[in-house]
């Protein structure tokens, strides 16, 4: 793991199984394409998809990338459905 993505975590204490949600979210949000591909190879596509679908927040760019990459509809992601439920103020 590259420490640049986990500046707030002690890498000596991180467990790759119990912290997979944090690891997957950070790599997809901040990592390079190679980092993402390595992560998918390590955890396996089904695990990565399940974790990404259950994350409460992904920025719009990452969410769209994930949706296109895995060919999944946006509404299959918890973060997208939560955003749709939030009241949006009108811009004036």
| 31-81: pLDDT as tens digits | 999 999 999 999 999 999 999 999 999 999 999 999 999 999 999 999 988
Count up the domains in the chain and report the number: 1
The number of residues making up the chain comes to 92
In angstroms, the CA 71 to CA 91 distance is 32
Q: Residue 47: give the domain boundaries.
A: 15-85
pTM, rounded to two decimals: 0.81
Positive or negative torsion for Cα 55, 66, 3, 20 = positive
Tokens of 2: 């590259």
pLDDT digits (tens, 9 = 90+) for 3-35: 778 877 878 888 889 999 999 999 999 999 999
pLDDT of residue 2: 66
Structural domain contains residue 45: yes
pLDDT of residue 52: 97
pLDDT of residue 91: 57
Structural domain contains residue 24: yes
């Amino acid at each position: 793991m590259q420490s640049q993505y986990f500046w707030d975590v002690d890498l000596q204490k991180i467990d790759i199984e119990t912290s997979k949600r944090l690891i997957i979210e950070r790599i997809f949000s901040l990592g390079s394409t190679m980092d993402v591909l390595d992560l998918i190879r390590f955890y396996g596509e089904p695990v990565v998809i399940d974790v990404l679908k259950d994350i409460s927040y992904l920025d719009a760019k990452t969410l769209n990338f994930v949706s296109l990459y895995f060919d999944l509809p946006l509404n299959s992601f918890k973060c997208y459905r939560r955003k749709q439920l939030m009241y949006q103020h009108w811009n004036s």
